[in-house]
């Protein structure tokens, strides 16, 4: 009830810059646009409706099937290759591949996108490779700009040749009769990539770490997988 009240009262519980996040500089607004997480009221609702229409039961079922295939392939590779670092080998790859498939990002773009996500995450204080890694000033901002450029280029391609993916759905849609600008599209897709990959890979990696530190829970899960997997993933 409290969450619903907060989400439906934007004048009191505002998400605008300066409230939940620092007020960006003017040049940053001009370059990166307005992120969905910083929108309130009708502006946020209109964009959310546009996006939610894309997530039909058919799409969700296809995405679930795709996740199963990707996860199975990654497990097979882990067993065969026995990599030293689980994070880049599996925890990062799974959400990146799922989101890129959903958006329709070409496979050739993905290694660079993964690198840009790492750099953008470090800008907000999350370093994937540990505390000892040197943070280069401006690298996160530069990576966000490059990511926006890539997404703007992909959006232009999809306007000319639409496909069955999220990028095509949004570039061909409009809010109150106005199409989304390339800058706004870039802001949304950058948010989806960075937030979607960063949170999910951390959850996967921490989940594995917890099972490693608590072998009794690992044994419990193995004893009746179907019974306990629900609690394990939540």
Residues 178-214: pLDDT tens digits? 677 777 777 788 888 888 898 899 999 999 999 999 9
What's the distance, Cα to Cα, between the start and end of the chain in Å? Answer: 21
Q: Which has more pLDDT, 36 or 129?
A: 36
Rounded-to-integer distance, Cα 98 and Cα 197, Å:
9
| pLDDT at residue number 23 | 59
Q: Which residue has the higher pLDDT, 145 or 111?
A: 111
pLDDT of res. 232: 86
Distances (CA, A) of 174 to 42, 67, 102, 155: 14, 29, 20, 14
pLDDT level of residue 118 (50, 70, 90 thresholds): confident
- % of residues, the chain, pLDDT over 70: 77
Q: What is the mean pLDDT of the segment spanning 207-231?
A: 94
Instruction: Identify the pLDDT of residue 3.
Output: 79
User: For 48-56, what is the mean pLDDT?
Assistant: 77
Q: What is the pLDDT of residue 100?
A: 92
Closest CA to 181 of 7, 10, 30: 30
pTM of the predicted model, to two decimals? 0.77
- The predicted pLDDT at position 200 comes to 92
Mean pLDDT of the chain: 80
Q: Classify 57-233 by CATH class.
A: mainly alpha
């Amino acid at each position: 009830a409290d969450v619903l009240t907060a989400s439906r009262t934007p004048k009191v519980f505002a998400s605008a810059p300066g409230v939940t996040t620092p007020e960006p500089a003017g040049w940053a607004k001009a370059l990166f646009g307005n992120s969905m997480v910083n929108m309130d009221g009708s502006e946020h609702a209109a964009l959310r409706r546009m996006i939610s229409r894309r997530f039909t039961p058919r799409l969700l079922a296809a995405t679930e099937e795709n996740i199963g295939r990707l996860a199975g392939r990654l497990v097979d590779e882990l067993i065969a290759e026995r990599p030293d670092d689980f994070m880049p080998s599996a925890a990062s790859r799974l959400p990146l591949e799922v989101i890129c498939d959903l958006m329709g990002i070409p496979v050739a773009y993905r290694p660079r996108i993964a690198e840009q996500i790492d750099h953008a995450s470090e800008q907000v204080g999350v370093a994937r490779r540990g505390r000892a890694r040197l943070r280069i000033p401006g690298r996160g901002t530069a990576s966000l700009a490059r990511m926006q450029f890539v997404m703007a280029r992909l959006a232009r391609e999809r306007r000319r040749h639409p496909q069955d993916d999220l990028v095509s759905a949004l570039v061909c849609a409009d809010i109150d009769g106005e199409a989304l600008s390339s800058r706004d599209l870039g802001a949304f897709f950058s948010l989806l990539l960075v937030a979607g990959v960063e949170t999910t890979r951390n959850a996967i990696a921490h989940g594995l770490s917890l099972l490693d530190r608590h072998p009794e829970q690992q044994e419990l899960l193995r004893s009746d997988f179907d019974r306990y997997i629900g609690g394990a993933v939540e």
